[in-house]
Structure 1
Amino acid sequence: MSIVAMCLLRKISYCRINFVLKRNLSSNPIVRVEQGKLKGSTHNLLDGSPYYSFKGIPYAQPPVGELRFKAPLPPKSWEGVCEVIKHGPVCPQFDTLTSQRIEGNEDCLFLNVYTKSLAPSDKLPVMVFIHGGAYLQGSGNSDVYGPDFLLQHDVILVTLNYRLDLLGFLNLDIPEVSGNAGLKDQVAALKWIKSNIDKFGGDPNNITLFGESSGGVSVTCHLISPMSNGLFSKAIAQSGTCLDDWVINRDAKSTAFRVGKILGKHTDNPKELLKFLQSVPATDLLGLTFKIITEEEKNRGLPLLFTPVIEKKFDNVESFLSVDPLDALVTGDIGKVPIITGYNSSESISMIGVIRKKANFRSKHPEYLVPKEIMYKVSTEKMKEFGARIKRFYVGDKDFTAEVIEAQIDMLSDIYYTYNNSRFVHLYSKSDQPIYQYVLDYDTDLNSFKKLFGMSHVKGMCHTEDLLYLFSSKSTKELYKEQERVRELVFTLTKLWTNFAKTSDPTPDQSLGVKWKPYTTLGEEYLHIAEPLTLGHAANRERIAFWNQLYCEAGLPHIDTHKS
């Protein structure tokens, strides 16, 4: 896009925003929701315009005591006015960067609403964000997910907490604890938003669900879950889908009993184990993955155990996920809404520590690079053959050394992100709804995670760095103010996302200088989100084709290359 076009677009948007905001905002806004009155606060965005903030709104009853591990219950009403000017406690979690337990509080099912208007007649588009963190860590708090960048486009932003780790994803295969409690928390939040967002100036019939990493996985799981039907009308899945190899724990009940043993409870009775685990301090239940994980689980795929499950069916128990996500996509038994999905250009820069640590092992045992989904389908001999082919494709006759770091980054990016994103896009494109694929490739001073990993010299955008262009934070505030280029890229990305939230089309006009076309099996269209924006075909063509051949040979659903 030309500088002139950008300036005109920003000027038009600025005028429109100020027109909307030429109204007096109360410093102590009060809204009445179904459960009672809420008192929020008023703040200013980075551009100086005011907005309302409601932090720490309870959307479900505290999942404590006998409610631990169980599906959430609707929130209770309250008397008087509930002050919601600070975030509620974060959920108990394990910080994988510091290897520290974060106590938080089990009473953590809160959401946050940021809006420029409280007039129901305004019917602003609503964007509900699900945070990532591998289902181990994270929250919806504004220290990471600030509203400034998105609210400049006249939308409402909602962020939320949900239960994590064992507390959110224990499965005992009994009616009381059938798994996916953390995902059921998200459903409870969506139900609350659907019923109450009009009180905040939002349109309950125009809700876009979006998330990153495990949050993106969650978004695509909601497309499959009957519990989520009708609760949102559009979806954006960033750097994660329900097809990712690590997502489904297919041995969750066994995992639960391993937890019992490590905590000193030796039993094969699930109800006895439940009673015991409900008595243990919450902090003792955090980070147990790294105590019970097997060598096979360490070496193949991501070391994640407390993740979504395919639930066993019980009478009078509502399941979140009762079918395999892949089967749902293949049969078309999935919610049909417009979707944006994609990934960052060099996701696995974030895995540089693992790349270096496991280089020697992977050189000797490349069969551990074979995804679990393929492993379940092929013989040991075939798996070793596949492993050798993977190694040869990325590094030729070399071993995995520092000399070929970038090839290893591509390899792990393909295993964990790119191929299954393309497979998801291909399978979903057979529905009657548009799906827009992207590869995000910004590289500025805002890409702080790449610097943190000491990989600034490597081209591309690291996992989670997309968030820095969508959400404001204290750590990036000054950089955003100082650098016009950063502001322009933030504006472009948030404009694409909010255009989609408003119209189901990320480029409804020519103001961004490109027309982003939906993916088709014939054209394999995608948007390369860089400088400038460009429409491309068949993202990472050769690498995707290599993996597609392996999935095809394993007899798994794959990308049909016979174009009509």
Structure 2
Amino acid sequence: MVTVGSYLSKNCRSIHKLATMNNPVVTVKQGKVRGSTLSLVDGSSCYSFKGVPYAQPPIGLLRFKAPESPQKWQGIYEATKHGPSCPQIPSPMSSIGEEDENCLFLNIYTKTLEPTSKLPVMVYIHGGAYMSGCGDSEMYGPDFLLQHDVILVTINYRLEVFGFLCLNTREVPGNAGLKDQVAALEWVNKNINQFGGDPDNVTIIGESAGASAVTYHMLSPMSKGLFHKVIAQSGTCIDDWSIQRDSVARAIRCSKLLGKETEDVNEILNYFRSLPSKDIVGLTLKSRIEDEKYRGLSIFFAPVVEQKFEGLQSFLTEEPLDILLSGKYNKVPLLIGYNSAEGLFMLMLQLKKAALYNKHVKYLVPREIALKLNEDKMIEFGEKIKKFYVGEKGFGEETAREIIDFQTDMHFIYNTHRFVNFYRASNQPIFTYRFNYETDLNAIKNLIDTPCKGASHADDLFYLFCNNVNKKAYQERDNLKQIVFKFTKMWTNFAKVSNPTPDQSLGVTWHPTSTGKEYMRLEEPLSFGACPELGRVTFWNQLYCDGGATHMPRSSL
């Protein structure tokens, strides 16, 4: 017999359970945090915790300094909307909402809140040339990855001057943005079990500047033990564009641009701290010297080799290549690769500069080599590059395909191969790929009016994350759903068991590379075999060798 009391008790429990599902409350080290539920594109739902602070606001005297541990709060912290992004210049790749220097927030998406679930955790570090972007779901929606029983964490970190000003002083040694990322990983390590995650199975994943960041974490003692696998998409820490040189000289130029002429770094620090944030946004392009306007990518507020200061923990105190060659790094399984036509996103800009490059071939030489050459040698090397890619035709509309290949090789492909070659000494499994899908999901390529084949830089993101750009095409096309499922299945398999194809469910086996030459070809159909760009990689390796730069042994090619 059902009594009124038992009926009310049963229904009260049901109502309480429903309320808990819709407004989940989790206890973390800093206090209680309330999230919400998020409807996913496949009809399922997940728990969402947005805008959770992982460090103290880096404002006032904390501007430019390493992040401080987050403070505890009273009551329940409402985590139902994203926190502000770091102040930045607008970017076509980012849909940025509120901006504020108080930007050190992360977002968590999970289908369970049972601490015993121990789901693998994927922490995504966004790209954007170290000067734009954020971790918001407007770009990095969790829908595709959460099909596979993982937890996704996305983060904001300080950008450009806010995150990468370096004065070579104890107060501002540099790399604040990377130290923000470490602080986020520390927060995940201490709290993710409360969201159903396994703190002992954390994969850091990044694209472009985010890929260079995750490979920096592989080299930093500060990051040791905070992650267990790495996925690097289109970037490494040994790329020209991923390291800052002459940081104090740049700070002096910036100070002059903003109205204060001084070479005293303490005066510069005090002056920069006195300025509103809007005044110090966008200094990357404004602070370029003449050579930087034409050589390489315009990324200059970036990670830096820090000076050592007694009692102060550093993120990086040696050249990335030296650490990589020494073997003194965090040895973890690695999944790494590039898109087949990365340079597509630069094509329009390169065509505008074509006449200049035809006349001044010295600017074709990468910075790492150029630093070792005199003017005549630089011209000689530039002629070699020009001849290899376009012969007597020169750079222009007729050689658009060759321009794309040149940019792809110089900024992405060669250094991916070089990083893999040196990291093989770790004896960790390395899974290499070449992304070559061409569908309606290739949002970047589809914006560019060109018949050239291949996947552009950042096209892979629209197969990994759901957003307003790709959602409609994904929902309407079953074949796109299948491609996305396969792609995210491989990524999450790696996060789970360090192997993207642990069984035959995808109809292909992705072997770890043994020579650095074998790549998974991510296209229709999936296939595993030799990298098609090896001839171009060999050309660049010889160029680095002839230029006195660190290169791969010839026997490895």
Give the TM-score taking structure 2 as reference length: 0.95
Residues 102-125 of structure 1 show CA distances to partners (whole Å, capped at 9, x for unaligned) of 871011100000000000111000
Contact 2:47/2:110 (CA < 8 Å) preserved in 1?
yes
How far apart, CA to CA, are the structure 1 residues paired with 2:405 and 2:19?
Answer: 52
Candidates 390, 406, 417, aligned match of 2:412? 417
How far apart, CA to CA, are the structure 2 residues paired with 1:399 and 1:538?
Answer: 27
Candidates 105, 113, 122, aligned match of 2:100? 105
Candidates 322, 343, 346, aligned match of 2:341? 346
Write the letter of the residue equivalent to 2:463.
Y
1:552 equivalent in alignment to 2:545: yes
Question: Structure 1 runs of 4+ off > 6 angstroms?
Answer: 22-25, 98-103
How far apart, CA to CA, are the structure 1 residues paired with 2:122 and 2:78?
Answer: 23
How far apart, CA to CA, are the structure 2 residues paired with 1:31 and 1:532?
Answer: 43
1:226 equivalent in alignment to 2:231: no
1:266 equivalent in alignment to 2:261: yes
Contact 1:94/1:102 (CA < 8 Å) preserved in 2?
no
Write the letter of the residue equivalent to 1:546.
F
Write the letter of the residue equivalent to 2:402.
A
1:529 equivalent in alignment to 2:518: no
1:469 equivalent in alignment to 2:463: yes
How far apart, CA to CA, are the structure 1 residues paired with 2:139 and 2:473?
Answer: 15
Contact 1:25/1:50 (CA < 8 Å) preserved in 2?
no
How far apart, CA to CA, are the structure 1 residues paired with 2:382 and 2:332?
Answer: 37
Candidates 36, 49, 53, aligned match of 2:31? 36
Match of 2:209 in 1: 214
Residues 22-54 of structure 1 show CA distances to partners (whole Å, capped at 9, x for unaligned) of 999711100000000000001221111121000
Write the letter of the residue equivalent to 2:32.
K
Change (3 A) 1:99 1:468: closer
Candidates 358, 361, 370, aligned match of 1:366? 361
- CA positional deviation for 1:539: 4.1
1:507 equivalent in alignment to 2:501: yes
Match of 1:497 in 2: 491
Residues 238-271 of structure 1 show CA distances to partners (whole Å, capped at 9, x for unaligned) of 0000011111112011101111101111112111
1:204 equivalent in alignment to 2:199: yes
Give runs of aligned pairs for residues 77-476 of structure 1, distance below 5 A.
Answer: 77-97=72-92, 104-455=99-450, 457-476=451-470
Contact 2:431/2:511 (CA < 8 Å) preserved in 1?
yes
Write the letter of the residue equivalent to 1:466.
D
Any idea what SS the aligned residue of 1:388 has? helix
How far apart, CA to CA, are the structure 2 residues paired with 1:101 and 1:339?
Answer: 31
How far apart, CA to CA, are the structure 2 residues paired with 1:29 and 1:473?
Answer: 24
Change (3 A) 1:552 1:64: same
How far apart, CA to CA, are the structure 2 residues paired with 1:102 and 1:483?
Answer: 30
* Count of residues paired in the alignment: 541
How far apart, CA to CA, are the structure 2 residues paired with 1:26 and 1:357?
Answer: 54
- CA positional deviation for 1:70: 0.4
Any idea what SS the aligned residue of 2:123 has? strand
1:49 equivalent in alignment to 2:57: no
How far apart, CA to CA, are the structure 2 residues paired with 1:178 and 1:427?
Answer: 28
Residues 327-370 of structure 1 show CA distances to partners (whole Å, capped at 9, x for unaligned) of 11111122100000110110010001211111000011112111
Residues 359-407 of structure 1 show CA distances to partners (whole Å, capped at 9, x for unaligned) of 0000111121111111122332222111101000111111111011001
Contact 1:92/1:102 (CA < 8 Å) preserved in 2?
no
Contact 1:95/1:102 (CA < 8 Å) preserved in 2?
no
Q: Which structure 1 residue ranges, 5 or more long, are not aligned?
A: 1-21
Give the TM-score taking structure 1 as reference length: 0.94
How far apart, CA to CA, are the structure 2 residues paired with 1:114 and 1:326?
Answer: 35
Deviates more, 1:91-100 or 1:366-375: 91-100
How far apart, CA to CA, are the structure 2 residues paired with 1:120 and 1:170?
Answer: 39
Change (3 A) 1:539 1:429: farther
Deviates more, 1:102-111 or 1:382-391: 102-111
- CA positional deviation for 1:538: 3.6
How far apart, CA to CA, are the structure 2 residues paired with 1:539 and 1:156?
Answer: 35
How far apart, CA to CA, are the structure 1 residues paired with 2:506 and 2:545?
Answer: 38
Residues 284-312 of structure 1 show CA distances to partners (whole Å, capped at 9, x for unaligned) of 10111222212101111111221110001
- Identical counterparts, % of pairs: 54
Contact 1:111/1:161 (CA < 8 Å) preserved in 2?
yes
How far apart, CA to CA, are the structure 2 residues paired with 1:417 and 1:526?
Answer: 15
Any idea what SS the aligned residue of 1:378 has? coil
How far apart, CA to CA, are the structure 1 residues paired with 2:22 and 2:96?
Answer: 37
Write the letter of the residue equivalent to 1:559.
M
Query: What's the Cα RMSD here?
Result: 1.8
Deviates more, 1:241-250 or 1:148-157: 241-250
- CA positional deviation for 1:101: 11
1:543 equivalent in alignment to 2:536: yes
Any idea what SS the aligned residue of 2:241 has? coil
How far apart, CA to CA, are the structure 2 residues paired with 1:383 and 1:230?
Answer: 43
Contact 1:526/1:539 (CA < 8 Å) preserved in 2?
no
Match of 1:14 in 2: none
1:561 equivalent in alignment to 2:551: no
How far apart, CA to CA, are the structure 1 residues paired with 2:349 and 2:177?
Answer: 28
Change (3 A) 1:563 1:471: closer
Q: Which structure 2 residue ranges, 5 or more long, are not aligned?
A: 1-16
Any idea what SS the aligned residue of 2:122 has? strand
Any idea what SS the aligned residue of 2:528 has? strand
